[in-house]
Structure 1
């Protein structure tokens, strides 16, 4: 057990329960007063990888063997997920950004390439906007950039129905803990090819999401995103921000959350942002098309 800054006791998952990926090394770093778990592999120029919901570092298991041949991979478990601490507070995007930068500092990484999925990719956008000197390139998976057209987004708002029970106080944690079928549904619904999921991998993410502290953290993250980030999009908070980091978004053609129609040109708000739609693919591009993700990453990283 450990205590967060508010004095709340939180249970740390047993590191011996981690799934195995050949060549992966595990360590923990202190970042902003929180102990974060890092899975590392390979050597060379560093690449930070940030997972989405309801995954953790193991979501990159298909990417790691291929990309580790070229780079040092730093797969971070975000606060409240995987084997990182789950304090009572700190599930807003700004705190996640601070966690990522603090973890890079603790690892001695002044600058890195970045690959991220969904919630992790939204964190990645905010990190690149807040600290562009820390990131040379950014590959974002299944996320919209911070400057969508409202007339494109609003008709698609119904697609976020599943987040409502996750955002409500005590409801989100209850759903994740007591109704594992809900998490399985989201994972299955998130791919076009149902065979993309190995049963053991799916059950790992279901199991992890059902842990009391992980479920509470997921609830808090969804609520903070709904209140702060979606509110910021509606108010146009991000319009004055400019993206200088070369970025590629891979969007699934059949993503049940973010269809290609919402992936609009950001215009002058980004120096170099390219959007690529992946045919016949859903909300977990890295699960269905890992080779494409690796190839796209290497092509992006090679650009000056």
Structure 2
């Protein structure tokens, strides 16, 4: 007997307002995901990173909604989506997105992803290339990094040791909002980009019980599974045929441009580029650049 999924958010919060955005809930293969949509035209799927949700795209949406149908889900455990006890590994998150596309009757889409959302994006494009016509990846390493470049930068991930620790990670997110606030602020070069209470929206959302548990599980799963796969070269068999543009900030405190090398054998359609004067949240600091890069990639310019 199939188990019924509980769909009511544990602590309902109002959606932050954004003109032209429509909200709905979609059953995506057994998990209920909240989806924010805007615009009309060819579909573009936007996948957020941590510790954000659909509202991460608030600056990009007005720039692209005139020509595209923008579909911005809250990934499992975040924002207004259901936060089940498990399923925060990359494989399940990939399955969630494909199930969402099926539920929305989307045979193929253009794709934009930031950080964790972009990591899922690489796996989506590698495993289901027929469903993604172009991919703009922001502030993430691709699955085929040169270890000699990545390993010396591993100190930059010190904060993940707190987030991935059982019980401690969720406690930090739920009871120490200053920690989440610090991560968001250190991730940008110009802190004034956090306008109109946006930073506090993400801090408050991350402090929800389900989201805090999800944030911990997400980081622990990546440390246990994905890092091991990277170290052992388990992604060498993956191939990326989707035209992909990878952007990161030259002052990204987590993943600087020096780690973007490699991948030529696995991804002939991958182009990587650093953006001067920007940090780990390109869509916050340079939304116009992100929108231009997306249009250029999507239209084959």
Q: Same fold (TM over 0.5)?
A: yes
Tell me how many residue pairs correspond in the alignment: 300
| Paired residues for 1:128-139 under 5 Å | 128-139=125-136
Distance 1:171 1:6 in 2: 30
Determine the structure 2 residue equivalent to 1:179: 176
* CA distances 1:234-293 after superposition (whole Å, capped 9, x unpaired): 010001111010000011000000011111031121121101110000000000000000
Determine the structure 1 residue equivalent to 2:12: 14
Distance 1:94 1:196 in 2: 33
User: In structure 1, which of residues 20, 23, 26 is the aligned counterpart of residue 20 of structure 2?
Assistant: 23
Determine the structure 2 residue equivalent to 1:213: 210
| Paired residues for 1:153-172 under 5 Å | 153-172=150-169
Distance 1:197 1:98 in 2: 32
| Distance 1:48-1:176 versus aligned 2 partners, 3 A rule | same
Q: How far off is 1:46 after superposition?
A: 0.1
| Paired residues for 1:89-168 under 5 Å | 89-168=86-165
Question: Structure 1 stretches (4+) deviating beyond 3 angstroms?
Answer: 4-13
Does the alignment pair 1:288 with 2:285?
yes
* C-alpha contact (below 8 Å) 1:250/1:277 kept by paired residues: yes
* C-alpha contact (below 8 Å) 2:94/2:124 kept by paired residues: yes
| Paired residues for 1:74-93 under 5 Å | 74-93=71-90
| Paired residues for 1:229-248 under 5 Å | 229-248=226-245
Q: Secondary structure at the match of 1:269?
A: coil
Does the alignment pair 1:60 with 2:54?
no
* CA distances 1:174-231 after superposition (whole Å, capped 9, x unpaired): 0001110000000000000111111510000000000111100110000000111111
* C-alpha contact (below 8 Å) 1:8/1:87 kept by paired residues: no
* Consecutive unaligned residues in structure 1, runs of 5 or more: none
Give the TM-score taking structure 1 as reference length. Answer: 0.96
Q: Secondary structure at the match of 1:214?
A: helix
Distance 1:265 1:291 in 2: 28
Determine the structure 1 residue equivalent to 2:45: 48
Distance 1:9 1:111 in 2: 27
Q: After the TM superposition, which of the residue ranges 189-198 and 261-270 deviates more from structure 2?
A: 261-270
| Distance 1:51-1:5 versus aligned 2 partners, 3 A rule | farther
Q: Secondary structure at the match of 1:128?
A: helix
| Distance 1:169-1:66 versus aligned 2 partners, 3 A rule | same
Give the TM-score taking structure 2 as reference length. Answer: 0.97
* Consecutive unaligned residues in structure 2, runs of 5 or more: none
Q: Secondary structure at the match of 1:295?
A: helix
Distance 1:10 1:21 in 2: 22
| Distance 1:70-1:6 versus aligned 2 partners, 3 A rule | closer
Q: Secondary structure at the match of 1:248?
A: strand
Does the alignment pair 1:260 with 2:253?
no
